[in-house]
Structure 1
Amino acid sequence: MNFGSLVIARLYALGENVNSFEAKQGWKQGYLRAVVRNDDKKSIPNIERAKEIAEALGLEFYIGPPRETGPVYTVELDGADYAPIPRVDARLAAGGGAINDQVERTGALAFRRDWLRERDISPSDACLLKVTGDSMAPTLHDGDLVMIDERRTAIRNRHVYALIDTDGAARVKRLDHVPDQLIILTSDNPAHPVETRASEDMNRVNILGEIVWSAHAW
């Protein structure tokens, strides 16, 4: 929907028309009509004008990075804003897979909001889990903590993902996707074989999200 269509829809919702709203706002005749015209005389408003019109109509005018889709919690430390990322007690097996019958939140770690924004990570769509096993070494070691971005479920080849495999086990693997054919699961540890999921098995793989951060436990 373009800007003019949004204006028309909002005017209808408010029980207004172009002429009455222009008069109510003290705008000169044609100030708003030029934006909603449907001919070659239609005017494309600049940012300042679009903002003025949107605010007059009670619409939010926003330009910027993607904003949170869930509750936003902020902690301020030393003048910087931090967001808590929940830690859950589920395990991601770097080998054969881990079964997590019940998953509960066991606390949180705080990350600077500007750091998260730079990496396009939404705090409300991220969580922390522990890795078990050595199949992803040296990238991930047994006991490492990883952050999953749950919005990133579309496979980007050679990136590392948390997933629920066909047997219901939670795993962490480097993935490659051949559209409509198969998913390739690769371990960074060469001692572990490459695996594939094809046909119906490919459709049963549930991608939990991409691994976007890790912390190594010494």
Structure 2
Amino acid sequence: MNSRIETQQGSAGPVDPAMDPARARLVALAAERGVSLAALSGLLGRNAAYLQQFVRKGSPRKLEENDRRALAEFFGVEEAELGAPSRETVLTVGAGAPVRAADWADIPRLPLGASAGPGTVALDPAPVDRLRFSGRWLRQQGLEPAMLSVIEVEGDSMEPTLRDGDEILVDRSARPLLSGLHVIRVDDVLLVKRLEPGSAGAIQIISDNPAYPRLERPRADVAVLGRVVWKGGRV
């Protein structure tokens, strides 16, 4: 974003004591910087009256996220000062212990490659960063944030279902084993495969790519680490 903008001293006008805090803060910041609301609207790619209507008429009711972020960057302030939810309302999940909140869950992304190819050895499970999900959506799916991890798929054996570089959300909750996609460990190798019941208590380990053979292993040889409940990737 280009933060250079023509200024006009005092052009935002006085702050109305009855104005809600986000609008009042925007007016005060504009006055401090000496920039008009019309000029700020132009910075956002909006018509000249956009922020004037936001401040004086309450339309829109709140700033869109991208507009709020751009203004916060321009003024060098936290987005919360312009109406964003405070950081305390965000749910963050560390390596093991979540802190509950209403709207969001930050799920750990682990530096593990669940191989959809020949297989890879599991690495250090400490999170490298996090991927944010809607807390409401997770609850609708019956998922507990503390039991979730995000890992990357490596290889092509699960194409077209999963592609190399896709990210998968893995639920580690203890559940009865059902047919479906799971992350497993076999011979100290981490894999993402489709599992189905086999003969005499064995498990069939299936690659969706028909170029790869179907395997069958004794249940005791397969450590089921979690169920794949979501995938995401580039288009």
Whether TM-score is above 0.5 comes out as yes
Distance in 2, Cα, partners of 1:188 & 1:150: 22
Pairing 1:67-216 to 2, within 5 Å after superposition = 71-74=97-100, 81-157=103-179, 159-165=180-186, 167-178=187-198, 180-198=200-218, 202-216=219-233
SS in 2 for 1:105: coil
Structure 1 residues 179, 195: CA separation in 2 closer, same or farther (over 3 Å shift)?
closer
Structure 1 residues 195, 179: CA separation in 2 closer, same or farther (over 3 Å shift)?
closer
Distance in 2, Cα, partners of 1:160 & 1:94: 11
SS in 1 for 2:97: coil
CA contact (8 A) 1:152 1:210 kept: no
CA contact (8 A) 1:153 1:209 kept: no
CA contact (8 A) 2:111 2:128 kept: yes
Structure 1 residues 152, 187: CA separation in 2 closer, same or farther (over 3 Å shift)?
farther
1:103 deviates by 2.4
Q: Deviations over 1:91-127 (max 9, x none)?
A: 1001221102322211111111110011011100000
CA RMSD of aligned residues (A): 1.8
Q: Deviations over 1:127-183 (max 9, x none)?
A: 0000000010111000000000001553212x1000001x11000000012475210
- Normalised to the residue count of structure 2, the TM-score between the two structures is 0.56
Structure 1 residues 153, 172: CA separation in 2 closer, same or farther (over 3 Å shift)?
farther
CA contact (8 A) 1:74 1:81 kept: no
Distance in 2, Cα, partners of 1:150 & 1:188: 22
Distance in 2, Cα, partners of 1:104 & 1:217: 25
CA contact (8 A) 1:143 1:216 kept: yes
Equivalent pairs: percent with the same residue? 33
- Counterpart AA for 1:168: D
**Matched positions, count:** 140
Q: Between the two structures, name the one with larger relative contact order (CA 8 Å, sep ≥ 6).
A: 1
Pairing 1:46-61 to 2, within 5 Å after superposition = none
- Normalised to the residue count of structure 1, the TM-score between the two structures is 0.60
SS in 2 for 1:190: coil
CA contact (8 A) 1:74 1:84 kept: no
- Counterpart of 2:59? none
- Counterpart AA for 1:106: V
- Unaligned stretches of 5+ residues in structure 1: 1-69
- Counterpart AA for 1:124: A
SS in 1 for 2:125: coil
Distance in 2, Cα, partners of 1:212 & 1:140: 12
Distance in 1, Cα, partners of 2:193 & 2:168: 12
